Amino acid sequence: RGLAVFATLIMVMLGGAWVPSFMFPAWVQNVAMAVPTKWAIDGFDAMTWRGQGMDAALTSIGVQLAFAALFALLAIGKFNREQRA
């Protein structure tokens, strides 16, 4: 349980929920591209703080859907392996 909390806190930090991600060094910004929270925060910021419409969040929505599909496939694979064992 502690590891899950730690991973969640790292993802929230990298995603820019605590500190805007543009303030991070370039290498941290590159790492953050692989974190789902970064894309959620980007889409949310585009529509709220930057006052852009839904169109500005479409890329973020697409990336979030891709993450969801990836995690679903991983979960299904793990479930199937456990069922066979």
Structure confidence by residue, pLDDT tens digits, 16-37: 999 988 899 999 999 999 999 9
Residue 50: per-residue pLDDT: 86
- Please say whether the beta carbons of 63 and 46 come within 8 A: no
User: Per-residue pLDDT averaged across 75-80, rounded?
Assistant: 97
Q: How confident is the model at residue 79 (pLDDT cuts 50, 70, 90)?
A: very high
Task: Tell me the HSE value of 10 on the side-chain side, using a 13 A CA sphere.
Answer: 11
Q: How confident is the model at residue 59 (pLDDT cuts 50, 70, 90)?
A: very high
Q: Is the pTM of this model over 0.75?
A: yes
CB atoms within 10 A of CB 39: 23
Amino acid at 47: M
For the cut 90, the answer to whether the pLDDT of residue 1 exceeds it is no
